[in-house]
Structure formats: C-alpha cells, structure tokens
A and B are shown apart, each in its own frame.
Chain A
Amino acid sequence: MFEREAGLALEAVTKGGALLDESPVGAQVRTKESQRDIVSEYDLEVEKLAISVLSACPYPVLSEETNAGVKVEPGALFWAVDPIDGTVNFVNGLHYYGVSVGLCRQRAEGGPELLAGAVSMPKTKEHFFTFGSTGAFLNGARLSAFDVGLDSALVGASFSSGDPDSAEVQKAYLAFAWVNRASRGAVRLGSAAAQVCYVAAGRLQAAYGLGVHLWDVAGAAAIALQAGLTLRLEPVPDTTRVNFVVGAKRACEEIAARLRKEQLCRF
C-alpha cells in the first residue's frame, strides 16, 4: 500500500536533507508569526525541491512555506511537507531538525489518516521512513513498538509557535510541568518531527504536541504508527494545527488523560 508514495517521500526528504547538509553556517532568516516562528532561505529552497519530487504523484500539497492554506476534500489524498522542522535549531547549529513529508487522507471528521511518511535528519545522517504497510525503518533497521508507563518514560513536548502569553499556551506550560514531574523527564528539543521519530526509535518513550502544524508531524507520526506505536491526533478546528500524543500505549494514555483534564485536547 502506497509504496510509490513512500518512495517519493523518501526521495524528497533525502534530497532535501542533502541540500541542508551542504548549507554553510549562518542562514538568512526572517520572522513570521512570532520570534520563534522563522523561515530561512533553505526552508524555501528545500520545499521547492521536495514539491518537485512529489509532483510525480500530484496530490495537493500542504506545506509550511508556500501552500499553508490548501483545502482538501474529504477522502482525498494530500502531501504534508515541512522543509525544515526545527528551523531555529538549524540556524543555531543544533542537530535536531529534519525534512519531513507525510502522505495523508482527509477524513470527513477527525484528524487526517496518516498513510506514509519519511523524515531525514541530515546532521545525524538518520533517515526514517515507512515502506508500504510492512513497517517503519531507520536507515534500514526495522523499528518496533514497546510499552512502558509514564513513570518510566522520557517524554518530548512540542508547543504551538503562537503567542506565548496566551491562556492556551500558559495552560500547556502547566501541563508540561506535570508531565515533567510524572515521568523520567520532559524535554523540548525544538522539532516535533525529531521527537516523534525518536519515539519511533525508542529513544523517547512518548511525545505530545499542542497546536502544532500538521506538516510538522505528519511524516513522523506515520512512521511511529507503522512501527506499531499508539497515536492519538486531533485537528484544531478551522486551522492546519493538530494536537497529538504518540508513543508507548500506557504512557500515552496517562498523558492524554492529563491533557483532557486540563481541557487542552479532546482525545
């Protein structure tokens, strides 16, 4: 299932990753919605390259820099592309960033169905991908599911890039403090895609995100799903944003219960 699309996704992210790997230090950036929401010249270049590769399967493309407003009919397939998830890390020379592509199918209700994905992290030479319906892989090694409770989990957290003073973001920070206390620790690596891939690889045992864009996590979440991990994902109405929790089943249930209690999500 979707082997051709999975191949295009892998090709797009590895080509994009190679371009980033060759980039000199000190990319030019400009600010978008907030001081942490930035775009570099490489975001634009990699997005153009990825869309060009994906055009072999010409589904609509929801992408961070140039197609953020694309509308998709229920039942239709579409690509979700993030040319650099973790641009702040990229411009600061931190290695937690990647090129992400996900193949999604719009559902009439609820979040999109995640069908295939690939994420390439050029600095660490790591290429995560799905292959048909047979599994998820990291540089060829098969990824597999595991189960632990939250008290044994290291958890990755992602927040919306929106106004940090908003009531929603303040509630999210309180939830982060709770997760940090209830687990082996909560970390924010600055790339939702990297965190979800690290969950798929078993380096983190769970990750969650509130109000992140679908393109940030579509590729990585498809990989985690194919690895057999638990995923809950819901759209934030009338936006391209989603809330999600992914990872070991028991840890996910505990995180989801807390986020529901704080009215930060409905899943």
Chain B
Amino acid sequence: MTRTILFVGAGAIGRGYMPWIFPSGAYDFVFVDSNKAVVESMRARRHGTSYRARQGKLEKLVYPVKEALLPEELDVSRYPDLAAVFVSVGPRSCVKACQRLKGLTCPIILNENDSSLVDDVRASLGQTNVYFAVPDVITSNTAPEALRQEDPVAVITEDGQLFVDDRAAAAALTGDIHFLSEHELLYKQWTAKLYIHNTPHCVAAYLGALVGKTFLHEGMAVPQVDKIVEGAMKEMLTSLKLAWEIPHEFLDWYAQKELSRFRNTLLFDPITRVAREPLRKLEPNGRLIGAANICLAQGFVPNNLLRGIIGALLFREENDSDKHLKFMWEHMDSHTLLIDVLRLRKGEALEIILSQRLDKIMNELQQMVRDVAEAGGKAHV
C-alpha cells in the first residue's frame, strides 16, 4: 500500500520544490493550503506542475495530487498511513497551521526559516515528533505566463537540497533527503542559510524593489544593486569566518552558489515574495539587524548591509502584511522607529551608526534610483 505524505502549505516550497525530492509513485501527495485558487486548481487537475532550473535549462515535473484541501477540510484521522508531514507555510503562520496535526505519530518536519518554531510547535501540540529542516533551494511562487498556460499554478524551482534533523530518520523516508545531526544542521547548514542566503537575498529584494524591478534577477542585473548585494555577501562571509568555526571553503562555495542563484534568469522569483514581511526580516536577531550586529561584533561596519536595512524600511507593497512599515517610517521620527519598533537598544552600536548615517544612506539610495531611472530600460533583463 502506498503511504501518504502530507504537505501543509502548497506555496513555493510545498508544491514547487518538495515533489522533486521523492521518487515517482513512491508516495501519495496530499496538499493543504489556505490559498483557495491553488487548492481548487490542484483539485481540478489532480496534478501539480513544477519546473526545475538545472544547468541552464528547465526540467518539467508533473506529479499526481491525491487530494488538495483547505485547512478547515483537513482531518488527519483520515490518513492512518502517513509517512511524514512537511510544513512550509511561513514562520508567522506555522504554529497555527500545525494545530490540526495534534496526535499524529509520524514526523512533522518544519521547512521554516526559524529554528525556534520547533519548540513552539512541540509545546503547542504537546508532542515531540516535530523536527527542523533546511531546504537549501530558491523556489519562485510563480512562473512565466508561457509555462502557466497548461497549469496556472505551475512554479519554478531549482536543483536544491533538503537537510533534515536526523531524529526524523526513523520514518525511513525514501527520497533525496540529507539527514544531519542537530549540530551539523543548525551550526553549519542553518547558519549558512540564514546569513549567506537569507541576508543577501533580502538585500537584493529590497534594493530591486527600490529600483522598480519585478523579479530578483532583474534587480541583480542593475550593476549598482549587484555591487551592494555582493558587498553584503562579503560582509557576511567575513563576519562568519571570524565568528564561527565553519570551514572557510564551505562558506566561500556557499556564497558563490547563492550569488549565482540570485542572478539566475530562469528562476523568475518575484521580489514581492522574497521581500515580504519586512518587519519579520528586521527582527533583532534576524537576517538584517542580527546579521549587522554580528559584523559589528567582529569589529567592522557592514555598509552594504545597512543599505539593505534602509531598503527594508522603504519597502511597501500593497498586498504585503507589513505594508504599514513604510507608513511608520514616514510618520515616526527615526529614533522612535529604531528603538520602539525595531527594538534596538539606545546607545548600542547599530542604533548609533544607523542614526548617524540614515540621511546619507537615504540620499545614496535615492541617487541610485534616479541613476537607474535615467538609464531607462537598460537595466532590465
């Protein structure tokens, strides 16, 4: 009998990347998502479509969908044969989305950008079979129109890797999954993902948004943006090499791999996806403020990263749940915003530096926007 894998979250990772890692026909796939359009489309077609950018070409995967459900339709008791649950809903929605998984005995694997959520979900469910995973991949939540003609919810992903806490290995999952010890997962893969992937990735998104681009690779095609992103990458590399005992060759390889991904013209990764929820990305220990503080602790000012932080403050997208950030920025003085909203401590290095350099960086970014506008469409790919 074919066992079932439940994907909670049928977004970019859930429906775009995860189906690639399991052998064809090895499992039945059940998807749960709050996006009605995605659920209805998968339900009507009884299959999903994902394209994978690999070695400069796109490969196509059409996978069967046993069921596609809205969250309120999920009744886990209907799936006694579950092999595993993969949750990819975004950190803000994770704990709530997991409430319907109470009582399951199979591994519940969180593909979320926040390792602390494992403890939160364990506590809220009162069970310990919840594990952290790091999907080392970029997946767009859309695809060019030509690829969406057959399947309107088709997406593009990459040839990535999935790293999972090896305590979930008992489930004997068949697929391209790398089980790692908690130390290896958190110390090496997660640190690299958080600071060498996530940090420069969102810097690229915020600067790309500033210069009016739609997809990440379009932003990276603007020389001024590419230079700042590469600079932010170097700042993170320098700080991680000083702060952590992670092999330098691994970090250098990871950084080059990420820059290539950001520039990948096949991926069509929307800036609005990467830049979404800027307040979350500006959390004290997160990929922008936390990353800048690591650099400062190592004794240097991350000038490129500071531009990314200001870019995040300026980000406004009408459909983004944090679109009020720019509103706050426009109507609060910078001191109030930095201390009361971003929770910097008065007198700490980053607060002093940001306060002192705010106007200068703003002027630089505004000049960059003017320069790109004057260059006309040349910056577009």
Contacts and interface: CB of A to CB of B under 8 A. Distances in A.
B341 A140 contact: yes
Interface string B326-344: 0110111101100111000
Interface stretch (B207-215, B216-224, B317-325, B354-362): B317-325
B336 A127 contact: yes
A113 interface: no
A141 B332 CA distance: 15
Contacts of B341: 127, 139-140
Contacts of B335: 18
Interface string A1-35: 00100111011001100100000000000000000
Contacts of A18: 333, 335-336
B279 interface: yes
Nearest to A15: B333
B340 A127 contact: yes
* Residues of A in contact with B, size category: 20 to 34
Contacts of B330: 7
A141 B279 CA distance: 9
B115 to A, nearest CB: 21
A141 B319 CA distance: 16
B321 A125 contact: no
* Residues of B in contact with A, size category: 10 to 19
A7 B339 contact: no
A55 interface: no
A139 to B, nearest CB: 5
Given A139-B340, A139-B341, A8 B331 contact: yes
Given A127-B340, A140-B279, A11 B332 contact: yes
26 contacts: A3-B327, A6-B327, A7-B330, A7-B331, A8-B331, A10-B327, A10-B328, A10-B331, A11-B331, A14-B332, A14-B333, A14-B336, A15-B333, A18-B333, A18-B335, A18-B336, A126-B340, A127-B332, A127-B336, A127-B340, A131-B327, A134-B323, A134-B324, A139-B341, A140-B322, A140-B341
Interface of A: 3, 6-8, 10-11, 14-15, 18, 125-127, 131, 134-135, 137, 139-142
Given A7-B330, A18-B333, A141-B279, 16 more contacts: A3-B327, A6-B327, A7-B327, A10-B327, A10-B332, A14-B332, A15-B333, A126-B340, A131-B324, A131-B327, A134-B323, A137-B324, A139-B341, A140-B279, A140-B324, A140-B341
